[in-house]
Amino acid sequence: MNITELLGILKMLFSSPLKAWSFVVERDYHWRDVLVYFTIPLFFLSSFAGIFGNTPEFNQINLPPNLMFSVIFLGSVSALFLGSFMISSMAPRFKGEKCYNKTFVLISFSYTPVLFGSIISSIHEVLQIVNFLALVYMIFLFWRGTAILLRIPSYKQTGFVLVSLLILFASRVVISAFLASIALYFTGNVDDFLNQ
């Protein structure tokens, strides 16, 4: 994977999702390449924007910026690993192909609008609507990609996508809550958080 291919995929994800997914299948990227060249840099930027932006869900947690960044970043990346494993394991129940590599790639590239949306919305509170629009487009990308990458039949796609999104959301919430509780414990802010 090189920067030219990566920029081409990003452009296609927004202009022609089917073409983007076909290109990704043709190239058969390994999950480690996607993690190093795509996922970590975008999650890093998104997490950085999250600690300095107007993110309502994190305003209630009294953590220093470096710990808040760690909670957001590590929570997101860990949820991606766990979610990929669980969704890949679930694919055969929906008549799809069980492949951790393709599932990781599918989720990573599907997250693109959400990551860009979080960066844009961190500029001002008025731009929070961008997060909602990015989430809707992420669901669309994921839905389109399930048929091409995991070979989920069209009559099973909706159920697969709904269960997958629940898995991704639950993974992110549980892991982030766990990391935040550890960070709060070490900073001594647990009592302040519980008394709010």
pLDDT tens track for 4-48? 888 889 899 999 999 999 999 999 899 999 999 899 988 888 877
Does 4 map to a domain?
A: no
**What is the predicted pLDDT for the residue at 2?**
78
Query: 64 lies in which domain range?
Result: 30-194
**Mean of pLDDT over the chain:** 85
52: confidence class by pLDDT, cuts 50, 70, 90 = low
Does 146 map to a domain?
A: yes
Tell me: the pLDDT tens digits for 72-86? 888 889 999 999 999
Mean pLDDT for the stretch of residues 43-55: 71
Does 83 map to a domain?
A: yes
If DSSP codes are grouped into helix, strand and coil, which group holds residue 51?
Answer: helix
Does 123 map to a domain?
A: yes
Count how many domains the chain has: 1
Does 153 map to a domain?
A: yes
pTM for the whole thing? 0.85
Contacts of 99 (CB under 8 A, 6+ apart): 88, 91, 149, 150
Q: Which of 125-134, 165-174, 180-189 has the lowest mean pLDDT?
A: 180-189
Does 7 map to a domain?
A: no
Mean pLDDT for the stretch of residues 144-159: 93
Does 11 map to a domain?
A: no
**What is the predicted pLDDT for the residue at 194?**
42
Q: Above 90 in pLDDT, residue 130?
A: no
Does 9 map to a domain?
A: no
Dump strand ranges (E) for the chain.
none
193: confidence class by pLDDT, cuts 50, 70, 90 = very low
**What is the predicted pLDDT for the residue at 5?**
86
Contact 29, 105 (CB under 8 A): yes
Percentage of the chain with pLDDT > 90? Answer: 49
121: confidence class by pLDDT, cuts 50, 70, 90 = confident
C-alpha distances out from residue 156 to 17, 22, 111, 135, 190, Å:
20, 20, 21, 21, 44
